[in-house]
Structure 1
Amino acid sequence: MFSVLRTPKLGRVWAGQCVSMAGDGVYTVTVSLYLLSRADAAQALGTLLSATALGSIATLIFGGAVADLLRRSMVICAADLLRIFGVAALLLAGPDAPIGLLAILGVVFGCGAGIHRPAYTALIAQLAGRERRREASALRSATSRFTGIIGPVVGGSVAAATSPRWGLSINIISFIFSIATLVKLDEPNVTSVKDKGDKAGLVREALNGISYVRRQKWMLGVMLQGSVQAALVIAPMAVVLPLVMGGRGPAALSFVTSATACGALAASLTASRIRSQRPGTVAMLGLLCELPQIVAVAGSAPTVWVVAFSALAGAGTSVFAVLWGAALQERTPDHMLGRVYALDALLTQALMPLCMAAAGFLLGVLSTPTITTFAACALPLTVVAVLFIPGVTTLGSVTPDQEQDETVHTETRAL
């Protein structure tokens, strides 16, 4: 997997984005501590985070279109500059900034994140080349998992030793480092594969991306499965799991979170080696690895079992992420990568804020076992249902048997 870093320019881009993502992890912890001194800390943090999520969701599709129209390295630089502005303004405004200003800065930061994600993902795939995109997908996933562990640790340590302000400053420095690795990057120009006489607008480019995914039934099916799973399984568990394990003490919640991240990291390091004629089936079975964790929480299992099943859940979702990401990279034309990734992220994230809020409300009406049992039933149903869509089990590839049948059919028609 790490051998892909020897690909020209990719190692340089990866280094910058690795530092940037670690900075995001630092921000996640320190921004909470930064606002903690306020009397309305919960409202302030909730406003900032929800505005960030909305800004990201609102710009994902257009961010993907921009990433396919312009040089992706420059799009990432623009996104980093936008986020630098948001964090710097937050530092200047101070922890007692008005709620309205926090909402505005959250939207700014979220817009930067929404523009960044499809451009970064597409650029890594573009630089890796089609023959090494599975390794690139695994590397991207492993990097995300690793920085998700390291960033919060660094952020908490810096905040404890100095102050949260220094943590936010580190986030700004990480963006500056990212920009430095991207300036004057000689990347392939994906627009060269398109008709240069076609001056389609940004909206039309975004709609073209949606139309492309609609024609790929297997691709659309998996994306919709992700949207349903996010709404019915991931969102309620994101609320229930911290409440249940947090009620057992900080150590229990910490062990569960760390186990999930470690399981995901371990799987990311090995998933690129998986070879199967039915990678879609393997990927979906990976999602089912979340089921034991949900059942354990529903049944009030001992903490040690929840920790073990959390590691399994992290590993399974990481296997899915690597295989699914590689399939998108291999089956999507380079000039469409940004829009396809953006639509995938949008469908997964769009319902999350609403469903998490609904889960919080339902916890006041229904019992925890009822909500987790519903999630446990919804998960296998969504996984099994999508497997019946043509092309999902192979993630759009053609198996040797199908290739032989097609060859025989072609020869028969020729006769």
Structure 2
Amino acid sequence: MFSVLRIPKLGRVWAGQFVSMIGDGVYAVTVSLYLLPRADAAQALGTLLAATALGSIVTLVLGGALADRIRRSVVICAADLLRILGIGALLLSGPDTSLWLLAFLGVVFGCGAGIHRPAYTALIAQLAGRDNRREASALRAATSRFTGIIGPVVGGAVAASWSPGRGLLINIITFVFSIATLAKLNEPSVNSRKDNAERGGLVREALDGVAYVRGRRWMFAIMLQGTAQAALVIAPMAVVVPMAMGGRGPAALSLVTSATACGALAATLTAARIRSRRPGTIAMLGLLCELPQIVAVAADAPTEWIVTFSFLAGAGASVFAVLWGAALQERTPDAMLGRVYALDALLTQALMPVCTAAAGFLLGLLPISAVTSFAACALLLTVAAVLPVPGVAALGVPPKNDDAEVTPDRKPSAQARNQAGGGQPSH
């Protein structure tokens, strides 16, 4: 896994993103604590998170098309600049700023996140080369999990020792470091200017990515499952957990966040070794490991129990992420990686803005137990609904049959068919 760091440009990109992701972990804890003193803390946090998700949705698909069209390091730098502007403005306006300004800044930050995600994922895969794709994917996932452990711990320590605002400032500094490592990277372009001209505009390219995914029913079904789970489970829990644990002090919230990341890291280091004819079944059942955490939060269990179950939740989610990510990268041509990753992220976040905001307001009307009970039922139903779809259990069908999944009335464009036929990798 770490052998790919010997590739000079990849190692350089990884270093910058490693530091940047630590900053993201700091932000996850400190932004909640930054807004916690407000009388309407739940509504403020829900508004900010919902607006961030909305910004991501607005830019994800076009961001994926950009990542497949121009140098991906340039796209990442632009994304970092947007996030610097969003956090800087939040610091200047203060924690008591209006909900409308919080919503606007959340959109700015979310736009940066939406542009960044497909570009970074595709850049790592591109620099590694197809022969090292699995190792690079595992390194990226492990880095995300590890920084998810360190970042919240640093954020909690900074918030307790100084202030949450200092934590937000640290996040800005990490983005500056990321931009410095990407300057003059000069990675090879995926497509020439001639190719880009023949492919048409960004909207056409984005639609080609949608057509590619819709032509693979198993892939589309899992992405839709992610939409439902993110909206009905992840969105409400994103508000419930900070509100439930924030009152117990910065250390409690940091422990829960870090425990989730620890479980995810442990699973990331081992999930790639899973060998099964039904990896999709294992991946989907891994999501059910989130149930104990939801139940523990609903029952207002002791912190140590919630921390333990958070570890389990992170492990289960990571098993899904590793197996699903491997299936995507093995089925998708290089020139379409950005768009497919972007569509996956887009569908995951499609309903999160509304549901996150709704969760924030519902917590002012309903007890935490009611919101978490709904989330638990939704988790069970979304997993049960997707498992019977053909191809889900095996995470795809053999490559020779994959193109046959395109239904007559939902054919992709000629560009998408040519890319799928000429670049489809085998297992």
TM over 0.5: yes
Q: Residue in 2 aligned with 1:65?
A: 65
Which amino acid in the other structure matches residue 3 of structure 1?
S
Q: Residue in 2 aligned with 1:412?
A: none
User: 8 Å contact 1:141–1:268 — kept in the other structure?
Assistant: yes
Quickly say closer, same or farther: Cα 1:256–1:39, change in 2 above 3 A.
Answer: closer
5 Å matches for 1:12-411?
Answer: 12-32=12-32, 47-92=47-92, 100-192=100-192, 195-242=195-242, 255-297=255-297, 304-360=304-360, 362=362, 369=369, 371-398=371-398
Q: Residue in 1 aligned with 2:408?
A: none
Quickly say closer, same or farther: Cα 1:237–1:180, change in 2 above 3 A.
Answer: closer
Query: 2:96 & 2:247 partners in 1: Cα distance?
Result: 30
User: 8 Å contact 1:277–1:399 — kept in the other structure?
Assistant: no
Which amino acid in the other structure matches residue 189 of structure 1?
S
Q: Residue in 2 aligned with 1:406?
A: none
1:222-254 CA deviation, whole Å, 9 max, x = no partner? 100111112232233344445555677776655
How far apart are 1:48 and its partner, in Å? 4.2
User: 8 Å contact 2:23–2:171 — kept in the other structure?
Assistant: yes
Mind listing any 5+ residue stretches in structure 1 that lack a counterpart?
404-415
Query: 2:95 & 2:184 partners in 1: Cα distance?
Result: 37
How far apart are 1:166 and its partner, in Å? 4.1
Which amino acid in the other structure matches residue 228 of structure 1?
A
Segment drifting more, 88-97 vs 371-380: 88-97
Segment drifting more, 229-238 vs 9-18: 229-238
User: 8 Å contact 1:268–1:318 — kept in the other structure?
Assistant: yes
Which amino acid in the other structure matches residue 154 of structure 2?
V
Quickly say closer, same or farther: Cα 1:47–1:296, change in 2 above 3 A.
Answer: closer
How far apart are 1:397 and its partner, in Å? 4.9
User: 8 Å contact 1:193–1:335 — kept in the other structure?
Assistant: no
1:326-367 CA deviation, whole Å, 9 max, x = no partner? 211111111111111111111111212322343455556666
| Identity over aligned pairs, percent | 77
Query: 2:384 & 2:58 partners in 1: Cα distance?
Result: 31
How far apart are 1:371 and its partner, in Å? 4.5
Quickly say closer, same or farther: Cα 1:368–1:84, change in 2 above 3 A.
Answer: closer
Query: 1:319 & 1:227 partners in 2: Cα distance?
Result: 18
| Larger Rg, first or second structure (1 or 2) | 1
Quickly say closer, same or farther: Cα 1:392–1:12, change in 2 above 3 A.
Answer: same
Query: 2:229 & 2:248 partners in 1: Cα distance?
Result: 27
Quickly say closer, same or farther: Cα 1:135–1:277, change in 2 above 3 A.
Answer: farther
User: 8 Å contact 2:32–2:242 — kept in the other structure?
Assistant: no
Which amino acid in the other structure matches residue 292 of structure 1?
P
Query: 1:154 & 1:134 partners in 2: Cα distance?
Result: 30
Which amino acid in the other structure matches residue 12 of structure 1?
R
Question: What SS does the aligned partner of 2:396 have?
Answer: coil
Quickly say closer, same or farther: Cα 1:265–1:196, change in 2 above 3 A.
Answer: closer
Which amino acid in the other structure matches residue 183 of structure 2?
V
Quickly say closer, same or farther: Cα 1:394–1:7, change in 2 above 3 A.
Answer: farther
Segment drifting more, 124-133 vs 188-197: 188-197
User: 8 Å contact 1:387–1:393 — kept in the other structure?
Assistant: yes
How far apart are 1:39 and its partner, in Å? 7.7
User: 8 Å contact 1:130–1:329 — kept in the other structure?
Assistant: no
1:87-126 CA deviation, whole Å, 9 max, x = no partner? 3444455566666554433322221111111101111122
Query: 1:316 & 1:398 partners in 2: Cα distance?
Result: 26
Query: 1:205 & 1:250 partners in 2: Cα distance?
Result: 45
- Give the TM-score normalised by the residue count of structure 1: 0.84
Q: Residue in 2 aligned with 1:411?
A: none
Query: 2:323 & 2:273 partners in 1: Cα distance?
Result: 10
User: 8 Å contact 1:138–1:271 — kept in the other structure?
Assistant: no
Q: Residue in 2 aligned with 1:410?
A: none
Query: 1:18 & 1:62 partners in 2: Cα distance?
Result: 25
Query: 2:242 & 2:300 partners in 1: Cα distance?
Result: 13
1:3-55 CA deviation, whole Å, 9 max, x = no partner? 23223421111111111111222334444555667787766655544433322
Mind listing any 5+ residue stretches in structure 2 that lack a counterpart?
403-427
Query: 1:36 & 1:297 partners in 2: Cα distance?
Result: 19
Query: 1:50 & 1:366 partners in 2: Cα distance?
Result: 19
User: 8 Å contact 2:52–2:109 — kept in the other structure?
Assistant: yes
How far apart are 1:279 and its partner, in Å? 1.9
Query: 2:144 & 2:90 partners in 1: Cα distance?
Result: 25
Which amino acid in the other structure matches residue 139 of structure 1?
L
User: 8 Å contact 2:73–2:119 — kept in the other structure?
Assistant: yes
Give the alignment's Cα RMSD to 1 decimal.
3.3
Segment drifting more, 282-291 vs 246-255: 246-255
Which amino acid in the other structure matches residue 257 of structure 1?
T
Query: 2:244 & 2:16 partners in 1: Cα distance?
Result: 37
How far apart are 1:159 and its partner, in Å? 4.5
Query: 2:130 & 2:32 partners in 1: Cα distance?
Result: 41
How far apart are 1:78 and its partner, in Å? 1.3
Which amino acid in the other structure matches residue 144 of structure 2?
S
1:254-285 CA deviation, whole Å, 9 max, x = no partner? 54433222111211222222233322122112
Question: What SS does the aligned partner of 1:69 have?
Answer: coil
User: 8 Å contact 1:266–1:315 — kept in the other structure?
Assistant: yes
